[in-house]
Amino acid sequence: MLARLVPASSSKRSYLVLVRVLLASAALAQTAYSAPSRRDLLQKLVAAAVECTHHSVRYVSVYVRIPYPGGDVPADTGVCTDEIIRSYRAVGIDLQKEVHEDMLRNFAAYPNQRRWRLAYPDPNIDHRRVPNLMVFFQRKGETLPITNRAEDYSPGDLVTWDLGGGVPHIGIVVDRKARWSGRFMVVHNIGEGPKMEDVLVNWKITGHFRYFRPVL
């Protein structure tokens, strides 16, 4: 295609200059497209997380066999990770599939062997475990600074905590602020179903991530 755009008499240097110009233009167009697309995805992700708080969900942490891909435990049950999974699935991203495919290629990067004594990926449960999601977001998303400054956290950010004794937890920052503290609130399920609460700095923060993937 490029060869047709350049007269036969043009020098090789002119041709290379044209190639660079076209590539630079394509890069600028991609940048212009990506920024609003990311903002749009974050807004939809946050809206999906807030929507989760309108549903009654019993905290049930038992192992459940689910379809693959697109599988989910019964809608009226779930744990903290299920609210993250459901929020992402609402914007067209299936973390069950994303995590499973990465674990198939890079199983040793995940804590399954030493933590749960598993020798192979299990798409029924792997994506529902906080430590696995932490590794996945580190590998495939953006790892952001861990601080206790509320202003360092933005809507759409994923936060993990140690509740004490090595018990992990995960939630998503949303765009609603607590009146008394001015902090962005977090949607999470710590045992009483999905709630939107001012809990960002309530426990030891162990991870701070942002995850994007183009919606197909």
Which residue type, as a one-letter code, is found at position 127?
Answer: H
Q: In Å, how far are 59, 98, 144, 149, 178 from 82, measured between CA atoms?
A: 10, 15, 22, 27, 24
Residue 19 scores a pLDDT above 50? no
Beta carbons within 8 Å of 6's beta carbon, 6+ residues apart: 14, 15, 18
SS3 of 131, please?
A: helix
59-79: pLDDT as tens digits: 999 999 999 999 999 999 999
Map tokens 């020098």 to a residue: 11
Residue 16 scores a pLDDT above 70? no
26-64: pLDDT as tens digits: 444 443 346 679 999 999 999 999 999 999 999 999 999
Residue 214 scores a pLDDT above 70? no
**Rounded mean pLDDT of 138-161?**
97
| Gap between the terminal Cα atoms of the chain | 27
91-135: pLDDT as tens digits: 999 999 999 999 999 999 999 877 888 899 999 999 999 999 999
Listed residue (208, 209, 206, 187) closest to 81, CA to CA: 187
Residue 36 vs residue 205, higher pLDDT: 205
* CATH number for the domain running over 33-210: 3.90.1720.10
**pTM as predicted:** 0.83
* Helix or strand run (H / E) with residue 209: strand 204-210
